[in-house]
Structure 1
Amino acid sequence: MAPRLSGFTRASSLGPISEFMDRHGGSFTRALRNVDLPFAILEQPDIVIPLREQFRLLEKAARETGDPYFGARLGQAVKGRELSSFGAWVCSADKLDGAIRRAHAGLNTMLQTSTVLTFTRRGSKVRWSIEFVEPETEGRHHNEFLGVSYMIDMIRGYAGRTWRPDVVMSVLPAGSPRQALEEIFGTNVLHGCGVPAIEFDASLLGRLSCEASASSVDGYLEPRVPRQSDVVATIKSVTELALHEGYPHIKWVASKLGTTGRSLQRWLDMHGTSFNRVVDGVMETQAKDLLRQSEISVTQIALRLGYSDPAHFTRAFRRWTGMTPSAYRSEQR
């Protein structure tokens, strides 16, 4: 049976979390350390991280700030257009119904897997829901409120910045306190629902964009988010994440996928490869990119990739390509 691995999301889906925590008395750096994620996600929002790790990070951030509704409050600062190229593409649709169709079509390939958007229309009302198909529970409700907030912000690009849904539907237990959440969202909150959702008037679907920059989209498109069914691509993505902190180790990669090193290696064996080969491929790709696209020295590249000295890096690079790093750089230029 195929393994059930974590879904992925881009670091951009966390919105302005670092600045937000600074303003609310918390340390994002400390929260990152607590979940053992690389600091690179602060500077490279296109990085993909396991969705389960984002849940955990939001939970740590909530504890840092002492805010039980951290995800909902952070959600008031997010902008759908800043959700990588995906958000810009969605928000550039002429009408709201087109933006919603784009969100459904591109979410799982451009931004985030393990996530299901559902749209239903009942008479004059529309219900738009978001469900995270992840076994991880710690921090889940923070991510759910954050996801709902992105949906609300996207609609505001067509309905106006002061718009609010008729109701925000929550999966928190029925009878949970509502006042704080209703103050945050500025509308009614209904607990005890099957999935997080918002309801609004169907007449908004035909609204034209009210944002002047809606027609402009950055032409850059990120690589696709790895499919959960692709075991090798999933493991490779977490290995790339590990590389931001030095040489990747199987125990760390396995822990981020919610499994053990032995199970991870067994899955790779079933696909005709090994963890060492995955690391080799990731290191080679990163080394070539750095040599082509940057001016940093070979020694700096070696250290960034986790090698103890340039000689070890040069030997590895010669094994990959048949030439030295300096020769490769000269040839590419």
Structure 2
Amino acid sequence: MSDSGSILLVRASGFGPLPSVFEQRAGERALWRVFEKAGLPVDVIGAPHTPVPLPAMISLFERCGHELGDRTFGLEIGFEMQKAWGYGLWGRYGATADTLGKAIRRYNLTFWAHASDGRLELVEGEKATLWRHVKRQPGQSAVQHIDHLIGPMIIIARLFLGPGWLPEWVEVPYQRDSDAHLMEDRLQVPVRFGCKGTGIAFKPGDLDIRKAGNAAETSRIITLREVTADNALSRAPEPARAMSAIAALRLLDGRTDIEGAARMAGLSVRSLQRQLLEKGYSYREIVTIARNERAVSLLRETSLPIMEIALLLGYEDHASFTRAFRRWMGCSPLEFRRFRQPVVLA
């Protein structure tokens, strides 16, 4: 287990339609099984803005593809992704640009708002311009996850170049495998293997094309300030930022143990404790903050019984939760709910 490097996070929205597509093909039990093996709570499906560790995201894609025996599963998920604004405000910010070149430059400059792994870059050549994603920490077997990036890039380009547009070629960072012809058949364009990143190539002039029409989805103007405000991935120094996200993610299953959190972060328990201490944090403090935030959300936004909320937060009984909540908020959960009219979400 490596104790070096930062903890890489991506939004759960990066799953795209994976859960529903996989469940349709393999069933609900199989869906629960692959999420459990990837170390992810199934409830994260309904929380697309939740940051999740990149290795867990990659593991889920690879496990689904393996379970189905489908070499093109990741590629198909990518093409099933909703239009660019399926990535929240970050996606909309790029999609509302007036030319493809401006859209790509917006995505490149603000990629940190979507993920902490790698970068997007535009590489200009004599005969073509390449738009690609370059991973910061390559190495994990990730064919399915890599392939799923291709579809959204092509979909974004088609917003400007038309629904039938195809890239000059596609690049991927992994070496050609025995089933690579399946993805080539699906893409119907040349694929270059063993490259620096995952990308698509444009003809000269493509980036200057203006978007035709005014799609209703892009009618609202999104500013860079809104994209920055929507970013929940960099509000604290590392590794406290990432561990806060992991703690909140694991609370969806009511899990708070440090061993599981360290494992999800790719660290030993000792290394995690040391790194947090260096920044003035403890794992217990981070879990307490995450519990508090989730408790307040559940009390305000649901009508769940307080005992059930206590169990969801990893407490053994009602009394333990009540004592902890009173320390945080100065009142009991019941008093908090009575004084603040809950907004029950459908």
TM-score of the alignment, normalized to the shorter chain, above 0.5: yes
Question: Are residues 1:97 and 2:101 paired?
Answer: yes
- How far residue 136 of structure 1 moved from its aligned partner, in angstroms, is 4.9
What code does the residue aligned with 2:270 have?
R
Measured at CA, do residues 29 and 161 of structure 1 come closer, stay the same or move farther in structure 2, by a change above 3 Å? farther
Structure 2 residue aligned with 1:273: 281
What residue in structure 2 maps to residue 19 of structure 1? 20
Separation in 1 of the partners of 2:204 and 2:262?
A: 45
In the alignment, the residues of structure 2 paired with residue 149 and residue 72 of structure 1 have an alpha-carbon distance, to the nearest angstrom, of 7
Q: Which residue of 1 aligns with 2:250?
A: 242
Asked if the contact 1:58–1:71 (Cα under 8 Å) also holds between the matched residues in 2, the reply is: yes
Structure 1: unaligned runs, 5 residues or longer: none
User: Superposition pairs for residues 149-228 of structure 1, below 5 Å?
Assistant: 149-173=151-175, 178-210=180-212, 212-217=215-220, 222-226=230-234
Residue correspondence of structure 1 range 254-269 to structure 2 within 5 A: 254-269=262-277
Alignment equivalent of 1:231, drawn from 207, 230, 239: 239
Aligned residue identity for 1:226? S
Corresponding residue of 1:76: 79
Residues 171 and 198 of structure 2 are in contact (CA less than 8 Å); yes or no, is this contact kept in structure 1? yes
- How far the C-alpha of 1:298 sits from its partner, in A, is 2.4
Structure 1 counterpart of 2:117: 114
Change in Cα spacing, 1:175 to 1:40, as seen in structure 2 (3 Å) is: closer
Q: Distance in 2 between matches of 1:204 and 1:189?
A: 20
Cα distance in 2, alignment partners of residues 289 and 73 from structure 1: 35
Calculate the TM-score normalised by the size of structure 2. 0.87
Residue number in structure 2 paired with 1:282? 290
- Contact 1:81–1:154 at 8 Å: present in 2 too? no
1:297 matches 2:300: no
Residue 64 of structure 1 pairs with residue 59 of structure 2 = no
Query: What TM-score do the two structures reach when normalised by structure 1?
Result: 0.91
Distance 1:236 1:71 in 2: 29
Residue identity in the other structure for 1:105: L
Alpha-carbon shift at residue 276 of structure 1 (Å): 1.0
Secondary structure, counterpart of 2:200 in structure 1:
strand
Task: State the one-letter code of the partner of 1:233.
Answer: R
Give a deviation string over 1:246-294, Cα, whole Å, max 9, x none.
1411011111111111211111121222111111111112222222333
Q: Find the aligned partners of 2:4 and 2:176 in 1 and give their Cα distance.
A: 34
Amino acid at match of 1:156: R
Match of 1:39 in 2: 42
Moved more, 149-158 or 89-98: 89-98
Q: CA deviation at 1:117?
A: 0.8
Q: Cα offset for 1:171?
A: 2.1
CA distance, structure 1, for counterparts of residue 182 and residue 293 of structure 2: 48
- Give the gaps of 5 or more residues in structure 2: 342-346
CA drift at 1:19: 2.5
- Matching residue of 2:91: 87
- Structure-2 separation of matches of 1:6 and 1:135: 14
Assess if the C-alpha contact under 8 Å between 1:91 and 1:99 holds in 2. yes
Tell me how large the CA RMSD over aligned residues is.
2.4
Amino acid paired to 1:260: S
Aligned equivalents of 2:265, 2:195: Cα separation in 1: 28
Instruction: Give per-residue Cα distances to partners, 1:22-53, cap 9 Å, x unaligned.
Output: 44446332211221210112211111110111
SS, match of residue 46 in structure 1? coil
Q: Matched residue of 1:230: which SS? A: coil
Decide which of 105, 122, 126 is 1:123's aligned counterpart: 126
* Whole-angstrom CA distance in 2 between matches of 1:133 and 1:217: 33
Taking a change above 3 Å as real, the CA distance of residues 228 and 96 of structure 1, as seen in their structure-2 partners, is farther
Deviations along 1:188-232, one digit per CA (max 9) or x if unpaired, are 111222222211113121222236235334978634223896211
How much has 1:74 moved relative to structure 2?
2.0
C-alpha distance in 2, partners of 1:242/1:175?
A: 35
Percent of aligned positions that are identical: 26
